[in-house]
Structure 1
């Protein structure tokens, strides 16, 4: 039987993977295991204190699993992963989309940002939406 102190879980719950003063807190397996009449967390160490990722559709999950439960999960998923192929692009990354101008020319948001900074001297953020006025101004100049 594995003894789990509530203090360990309290630290992890409050501070994530970082403990008090930036000290690394060890992660423990969260899988519920039936022991006699009781159901409790497995409590074994998570290898390298790294959560196990799982992605279904566009939703990404992370689980704290010990090596035994990681192997069990891989075994359960084996029939599906054996027929699957790896994705070329990670889900969640953005592809630069071309903006279609009114005259048929296409350009990217980075083109507009560079022009606004270099030619107009505007302080434009690196990310986020561009205003319609900025895009219109860029189109008129080009």
Structure 2
């Protein structure tokens, strides 16, 4: 799974592809609509790449990319608008060891919605492992 250019933006729903940078900030393309381009000023907005996001765990933090990979292997995910217990039970399967006191249902909804956005992208099936020969 290669999610390098995919980012979440604080205060904006959905996911974005980082497509460039200019004097005003970063240029992003919405993955939901794939037409909307916006410039995000980093002085007022935070970006997080999906590869860098972690989830609270009981013992150690869980990488979002690993959780998305487990959802992909499972082959099925509930809809983000599913009820809380359905989402929580699903998340227990794909993210065992997550801290249930600090990972809220709203966090799970966001992760499930991100999965539904990216599952059809070609990046989802690309290998993210860097070439060990340095090429």
TM-score bin, normalised by smaller chain: under 0.3
Higher relative contact order (CA 8 A, sep 6+): 2
TM-score, structure 2 as length reference:
0.26
- Higher helix proportion: 1
- Whichever of the two has the greater Rg, that structure is 1
TM-score, structure 1 as length reference:
0.25
